[in-house]
């Protein structure tokens, strides 16, 4: 007869795949990969490595497919995934609510202007765009230079508009907003917020991070073996092309009322104005 190995803990015997209890839903280029890599160092957190795109691209594959993509978790662990396009995709709030109305939602937000430039820089590096930033951002009505808000890089930064759709389905207390700027400046302080929000012990602390001079960003280290370090890949923390000051100024004016509205909605000032 097959015997259960004596070394197996009750926990590992009960390992199974579960739908995520928490999802990082956005925003693209906000620092979502950094946040996921930080939180998944927590022993009580498991997460798939890649973006699932279930609620936007693969919804017809069904919920069992989605669950099967998830890693095995023990009863004391939670499952998290991140797909930044969820925040801005129309049907996602309703679909996600239908899966589980208690899902915790985490959104990393960043100054919409730097976010747009980061998005544009990524498109350039992937060969998806060759036009200058200002050519993408503006069009002329003959007399005035107008912003093309149908350009995804600009549209994604209208956080207040996207958030309105989520608040139709989820109470504000189920959403946690993390400043992408603060996540770079003081990752440990942001991880306190994330761990508290998820109901986890504050295991990820300052000792898990060091500022890597070469990378120019925080990188990870294991406090028990500090020589084991890890920075995010080359596609994270790219150098941005310079953008003309008048272009930035027009974007600043454009985003200001949306930013103000967003601050009021979430009761938090992100210092982008």
By CB under 6 A, name the binding residues for ligand A3P.
Answer: 28-34, 84, 118, 121, 183-184, 217-218, 232, 236-238
**CB-wise, 15 or 123, nearer to ligand A3P?**
123
- Which residues, in sequence order, are CB contacts of 81 under 8 Å at separation 6+? 20, 23, 24, 47, 48, 51, 52, 70
Query: Closest separation between CB of residue 217 and ligand A3P, Å?
Result: 3
Query: Closest separation between CB of residue 16 and ligand A3P, Å?
Result: 29
- Angle at which helices 159-167 and 245-266 pack, to 10 degrees? 20
Query: Closest separation between CB of residue 145 and ligand A3P, Å?
Result: 25
**CB-wise, 34 or 204, nearer to ligand A3P?**
34
**CB-wise, 108 or 158, nearer to ligand A3P?**
108
**CB-wise, 179 or 259, nearer to ligand A3P?**
179
Please count the other Cβ atoms lying within 10 Å of the Cβ belonging to residue 223. Answer: 12
Residue 214, burial from CB neighbour count under 10 angstroms (0-12, 13-18, 19+): exposed
Give the pair of three-digit tokens for residue 168.
Answer: 């139709």
**CB-wise, 10 or 213, nearer to ligand A3P?**
213
Q: Dihedral sign for Cα 27, 215, 186, 78, please.
A: positive
Taking only Cα atoms into account, the Rg of the chain, rounded to an integer number of angstroms, comes to 20
**CB-wise, 122 or 250, nearer to ligand A3P?**
122
Residue 222 CA to residue 149 CA, distance in Å, equals 43
Query: Closest separation between CB of residue 2 and ligand A3P, Å?
Result: 44
Tokens 């454009």, located at residue: 254
Query: Closest separation between CB of residue 170 and ligand A3P, Å?
Result: 21
Question: By the 8 A CB rule, do 108 and 24 touch?
Answer: yes
Distance of CA 81 to the CA centre of its chain: 10
Residue 17 CA to residue 38 CA, distance in Å, equals 21
Distance of CA 9 to the CA centre of its chain: 34
Q: First CA to last CA across the chain, in angstroms?
A: 69
Query: Closest separation between CB of residue 187 and ligand A3P, Å?
Result: 7
Q: Which residues lie across from 138 on neighbouring strands?
A: 147
Q: Between the CA of residue 174 and those of 22, 93, 100, 138, 249, what are the distances in Å?
A: 10, 13, 12, 36, 34
Query: Closest separation between CB of residue 158 and ligand A3P, Å?
Result: 17
Query: Closest separation between CB of residue 218 and ligand A3P, Å?
Result: 4
**CB-wise, 74 or 122, nearer to ligand A3P?**
122
**CB-wise, 45 or 183, nearer to ligand A3P?**
183
């Amino acid at each position: 007869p097959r015997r259960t190995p004596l070394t197996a803990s009750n926990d590992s015997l009960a390992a199974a795949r579960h739908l995520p209890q928490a999802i990082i839903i956005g925003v693209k280029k906000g620092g979502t990969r950094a946040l996921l890599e930080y939180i998944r160092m927590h022993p009580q957190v498991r997460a798939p490595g890649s973006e699932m795109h279930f609620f936007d691209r693969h919804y017809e594959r069904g919920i069992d497919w989605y669950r099967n993509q998830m890693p095995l978790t023990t009863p004391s662990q939670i499952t998290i995934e991140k797909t930044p396009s969820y925040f801005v995709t129309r049907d996602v709030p309703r679909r996600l609510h239908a899966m589980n109305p208690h899902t915790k939602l985490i959104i990393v937000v960043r100054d919409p202007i730097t976010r747009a430039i980061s998005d544009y820089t990524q498109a350039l590096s992937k060969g998806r765009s060759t036009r200058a930033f200002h050519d993408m951002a503006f069009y002329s009505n003959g007399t005035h230079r107008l912003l093309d808000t149908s350009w995804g890089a600009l549209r994604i930064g209208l956080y207040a508009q996207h958030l309105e759709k989520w608040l139709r389905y989820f109470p504000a207390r189920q959403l946690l907003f993390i400043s992408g700027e603060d996540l770079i400046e003081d990752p440990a302080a942001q991880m306190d917020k994330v761990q508290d929000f998820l109901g986890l012990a504050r295991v990820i602390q300052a000792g898990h991070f060091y500022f890597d001079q070469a990378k120019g960003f925080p990188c990870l280290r294991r406090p028990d073996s500090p020589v084991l370090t890890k920075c995010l890949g080359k596609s994270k923390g790219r150098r941005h092309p310079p953008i003309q000051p008048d272009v930035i100024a027009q974007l600043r004016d454009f985003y200001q009322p949306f930013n103000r509205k967003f601050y009021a909605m979430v009761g938090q000032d992100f210092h982008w104005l």
